[in-house]
Structure 1
Amino acid sequence: MKNRAVEKIRSVLRKVILPYRKKKEAMLGGIRLSITNRIAMNYMKLLIINGFLFFFVFSILYLNIEKGRYEDLAEEIVVNLENDGDAFLTVVNPYSKLGVNMILYEVDTGREVYNDVTYDVKNYRRIFRSIHYTKSSDTHRLILDDDMEFVQGGTLYRAQFFYNMTKDYNRMWSLLWNMLILYVIIVFFIIQEGKKNNIKLLEPIQSMSATVNRLTVSNLHSERLNVAGTKNELKDLAIVFNNMLDRLETSYDRQKQFVSDASHELRTPIAVIQGYINMLSRWGSKDQEILEESIEAIKNEAKAMQDLVEKLLFLSRHDKKTLKLEKKIFNMRPIVEEMVKETKLVTANRVIEAPYLEDVNVYGDKQALKQAIRVFIDNAVKYTQDGDTIRIYCRNIRGDCMIGVEDTGIGMTRKDMDNIFNRFYRSDHVRDRKIEGHGLGLSIAKLIIMAHTGRIKVRSQFTKGTSFIVTIPRIRYDS
């Protein structure tokens, strides 16, 4: 029953509060306030709340201090009564003019001995235990009572004191109103000064907004946010934004270079194919030799274009994070053995050696790894001459798979080694020798090896040869 009642109350609250919140959000959502105004409003809200607390505490302290003054007077009355009560009571209470009245009782008999209270607090509103308040009287609006007992002439008396704090109450309100007017003026100037400071504080945001609005593809390399001045959160934000722009610029330049290089690579085979087609359209159909030459050339160029397009698609899938590898555990030795046999069959004029072919388990995509290793072997064949040696091996180094492809070919310079994994990069002396290729193979091989958390080590000496050593870490099982 209790749970049902709680759920019912929650349901009612949801029906009442949620629509109110939605209406409030809809109303405030339609009002557009600048950040400076919002901060100023927060200032004002804090000042109002703190001001209210200050005035409340001030009024309590003020009345408490005045109450203490009246208590001192009451204690003075009690001392006089204890010393000479009869003489004291023969005259009118001299402290009544100061706002201290009393009713004096004998404790044992309950007989009233003295009473100079001229008002009745029974109809007053009682606050806490000893505070009496009414709006109907201007002279006795706020009354505080207090009790004290004393002995005089062997008789126990109880004195009930009434402190008339109406004058102090009115004086307090007069003082509060004057303070409130002064406080409002101070709050006004604080808000105005705060808005000016906020505008200065938020100038970097306006500068950021202006810079961002000016950003286009054409000026992406030159426009950056200003990070000069004192270090703060806005400067940190500007640095982060500039770093993001640097990454965007690098990505855009790569994409632009990629498109340019791809267009350049495709232009040559297309031009060759068009040239042979034009030659066939003129006289190739009648000349058997030209016909066969054209068909062979077109076939080769089409194959080269197909290879280039497949590589471009691979890179595109990788860049879009859509490249999927089907990994499983397999032995790498048979794969390397198969590629060694294929290389010996295709390149009979090279010396192919396989000094180490060891069993080693690898967790990865078999076809992708085979494609990557094939790139290194094809490059070794491409950049060697008749009689050069190509050494291929597969080793098990404490569970890690190490695959090496070494050759005694033309080698590379230091500049080449720094750029060989860049897309479409081809060395100048390679171009001079008219060695075919697109400059994408090593880029693809690196992506595949990195996807298997592997490493590639390159050693090369110009005119002496090159070695690529691929290391794929051993399989690690969670304990």
Structure 2
Amino acid sequence: MNKKTKFIKIFRVILRYSYILIKQTIMITPRIIKTLERVITALLNKFKIRLKFSITFKLNFIYTLVLSILLFLFSLTILFGFKFFLIEEAKSNINMYGEIALDNIKSVSAVPNELIESISKKGNVSINILKNNKNVIYETDKNNGEYYEDFQIDSPYLVKGTDNVEILILNKNFNLNNETYYIQIISNLKKENKYFSVFWVVLVFLNIVIVIITTRFGSRISQKVIEPINEMTHTVKDINVQNLDTRLNVKGSHDELRELAQTVNDMFDRIQDSYEKQNRFVSDASHELRTPIAVIQGYANMLHRWGKDDKEVLEESITAIKDESENMKELVEKLLFLARVDKKTQEIHKEEFYINELLEEVVKETKLIDLKHSVYNKTNKKILIFADYKLMKQALRIFIDNSLKFTPENGKITVGAHINKNKVVIVVEDTGGGIPNEDIPYIFDRFYRVDKSRTKSEGGTGLGLAIAKWIISQHEGSIEVKSTLNVGTKISIFIGMKK
């Protein structure tokens, strides 16, 4: 096997393995890309978490950044102003020495070399005298034989010198012995640039010191500002069901934080009030349900032991169980209604109808189920309203049922409706025992009873008026209660008219 054949064989092996490697790489690449994507995403998420700086850091960073920008702009303005001042001062000097040199030349009608040299040394400038064809006829030693052919007459101008240092040049022409001459004054701005550099370094140093001091003290000030928020956070974290009465401290602060703390305290007041109402509601509901359940269970046990063989006991037990089950059904229905109210799922279907027809229907039904009281309807005029017929009927039934319960036999209950200032006023008035003034603000609270000694059959569950109040409120109405002990009670319901 010669060298050529051996080389071709090795080359083929390299190509085959290269092909296999490339093929495997192509197959593995998507997995590698997906893995890299996961790694990069995880790193970015961690980076984002790290970037969740505290409010103290953010405040300190923001006003340090703003101060740094303002300092930078201020320093830049000062630097450019200082440089402008140095250049203007140099222009003023070069003009002055140019005038002195020209005055001396004109006074002697010749070029006074020694005097020009003296002016050059005194002003630290180079002076060239050129003829009309701009040939140098005199120059000071300071210019080293240099002069500038780009002439601008009578006004100083800046150029870059051989060492890249700015040079200020002033050219003036004059006539001497009927020939035109030019005087060229050159001022090197190395001294001015040095002043500028020193001033720049001083300003940078001062800016750095100011930023460091601001950052250091700004951090402390930010922490002092944020301290009440941290205190609020710790206080709120410690509040639980056992200490709902804990409130944020608002003493000593007279800014937005005081308003925030007061708002949070108000929120906790509402939460505590709702929590207490919920506990009271659950407790009262449990108590109300416990009594009928205990009665039903007692009669059931009595029937189980020996009552089923005694017809009188059997009848009594069946009647009691029936009554208590009716009471439980009524209570559960009211509780479910209030639960829907609390969850805001109770539906309202408003429609147009005449209130006098509703009152007539309610009075008629009341007369059928109650024969111990006189119930009258004083409304004859047709008054159109837009409301939920069933809910309004339920509310009226609640008010009339309360009047029946607390009005002695042969007492009088009157219902009616009239219009007063674009309002429909529905009135339910009785000749009952009345309500004490101190109890009137609470009669619409759930499970509230004016006379705690009354039995359930006389006093109800204490939920009806709460339901009635909600119904009226959903019709954007209001309720007014006037009552006199041993005289009677007048309930006035105000609802907007149909426009």
- Structure 1 portions without partners, runs of 5+: 1-22, 123-128
More helix by share: 2
Equivalent residue, structure 2, for 1:200: 224
Secondary structure, counterpart of 1:458 in structure 2? strand
Task: Check whether the contact 2:134–2:182 (CA below 8 A) recurs between aligned residues.
Answer: no
- Which residue number in structure 1 is paired with residue 354 of structure 2? 331
The residue aligned with 2:330 is: 307
Paired residue type of 1:38: K
Name 1:16's counterpart in structure 2: none
> Secondary structure of 2:352's partner?
strand
In structure 2, what is the equivalent of residue 56 of structure 1?
76
CA distance in 1, matches of 2:255, 2:263: 12
Q: 2:97–2:123: 8 Å Cα contact kept in structure 1?
A: no
Counterpart position of 1:316: 339
Residue from 404, 415, 438 that aligns with 1:415: 438
Q: Which residue in 2 is equivalent to 1:216? A: 240
For residues 353-432 of structure 1, the aligned pairs below 5 Å read 353-397=376-420, 399-428=422-451, 431=454
Q: What does residue 141 of structure 1 align with? A: 165
Aligned length: 442
2:492 corresponds to: 469
Quickly say closer, same or farther: Cα 1:157–1:120, change in 2 above 3 A: closer
C-alpha distance in 1 between matches for 2:292 and 2:123? 115
The alpha carbon displacement at 1:159 in A equals 6.2
Question: Given that residues 412 and 431 in structure 2 are in contact (C-alpha distance below 8 angstroms), is that contact kept between their aligned partners in structure 1?
Answer: yes
Do the aligned residues in 2 keep the contact of 1:73 with 1:95 (CA within 8 Å)? no
Name the SS for the 2:439 alignment partner. Answer: helix
Q: Distance in 1 between matches of 2:274 and 2:213?
A: 51
Please give the secondary structure, in 2, of the residue aligned with 1:428. coil
Contact 1:360 1:399 in 2 (8 A): no
Compared CA separation, residues 431 and 417, structure 1 to 2 (3 A):
same
- Is the Cα contact below 8 Å between 2:432 and 2:489 reproduced in 1? yes
Specify the alignment match of 1:66 in structure 2: 86
Q: Deviations over 1:350-397 (max 9, x none)?
A: 112222232111111111111111111111111112111111112234
Assess if the C-alpha contact under 8 Å between 1:73 and 1:100 holds in 2.
no
Paired residues of 2:128 and 2:147 also in contact (CA < 8 A): no
| Counterparts in 2 of 1:397 and 1:234: CA distance versus 1, 3 Å | closer
How far apart are residue 97 of structure 1 and its match?
6.9
- Matched residue, 2:193: 169
**Which amino acid in structure 1 is aligned with residue 424 of structure 2?**
C
CA offset at residue 263 of structure 1? 0.9
SS at match of 1:422: coil
- 1:212-291 mapped onto 2 (5 Å cutoff): 212-221=236-245, 223-291=246-314
Match of 2:477 in 1: 454
2:231, 2:363 → 1: CA distance?
A: 63
Counterparts of 1:157 and 1:332, CA distance in 2: 117
Higher mean displacement: 51-60 or 277-286: 51-60
Q: For each residue in 1:324-361, what CA deviation from the matched residue of structure 2 results, as whole angstroms up to 9, or x when unmatched?
A: 21112221111111111111122222112222232111
Say which of 191, 200, 206 aligns to 2:215: 191
Q: What code does the residue aligned with 2:481 have?
A: V
Query: Is the CA contact (8 Å cut-off) linking 1:359 and 1:395 kept in structure 2?
Result: no
Moved more, 97-106 or 369-378: 97-106
The whole-number CA distance in structure 2 between the counterparts of 1:87 and 1:202 is: 81
- Say if 1:37 and 1:378 are closer, same or farther in 2 by CA, change over 3 A: same
State the 1:280 CA deviation. Answer: 1.4
Worse overlay, 346-355 or 332-341: 346-355
Match status 1:347 vs 2:367: no
- Report how far residue 98 of structure 1 moved: 4.4
Which one is further off, 352-361 or 185-194? 185-194
Range that drifts further, 207-216 or 228-237: 228-237
> 1:78·1:150 contact (CA, 8 Å) conserved in 2?
no
Matched residue of 1:406: which SS?
strand
Shift of 1:202: 1.8
**1: CA distance, partners of 2:76 / 2:469:** 74
RMSD: 3.0
Query: Aligned-pair distance for 1:182?
Result: 4.0
- Check whether the contact 2:424–2:497 (CA below 8 A) recurs between aligned residues: yes
User: Is contact 1:269–1:301 with CA below 8 Å preserved after alignment?
Assistant: yes
Identity of aligned residues (%): 35
In 2, the alpha carbon distance for the partners of 1:270 and 1:155 equals 135
Higher CA-based Rg: 2
**Alpha-carbon contact 1:149-1:156 (below 8 Å) kept:** no
Task: Indicate which of 417, 420, 435 corresponds to 2:458.
Answer: 435
| Deviations, residues 134-177 of structure 1 (Å, cap 9, x unaligned) | 8x83xx523345x5656556877776655422222123223322
**Aligned mates of 2:300, 2:419 — CA distance in 1:** 53
Name the residue aligned to 2:152: none
What SS does the aligned partner of 1:394 have? strand
Which 5+ residue runs of structure 2 have no aligned equivalent?
1-42, 150-155
| Aligned equivalents of 1:121, 1:291: Cα separation in 2 | 136
Q: Shift of the alpha carbon at 1:284? A: 2.7
Q: Is the 8 A contact 2:120 2:126 kept in 1?
A: yes
> What is the CA-CA distance between 1:294 and the residue it aligns to?
1.7
CA 1:443–1:156 in 2, change beyond 3 Å: closer, same or farther?
A: farther
1:181 and 2:205 aligned: yes
Q: TM-score, normalised by structure 2?
A: 0.80
Q: Aligned residue for 1:40?
A: 60
Aligned-partner Cα distance in 2 for 1:336–1:62: 94
Which secondary structure does the structure 2 equivalent of 1:352 belong to? strand
- 1:89 to 1:376, Cα distance in 2 relative to 1, 3 A: farther
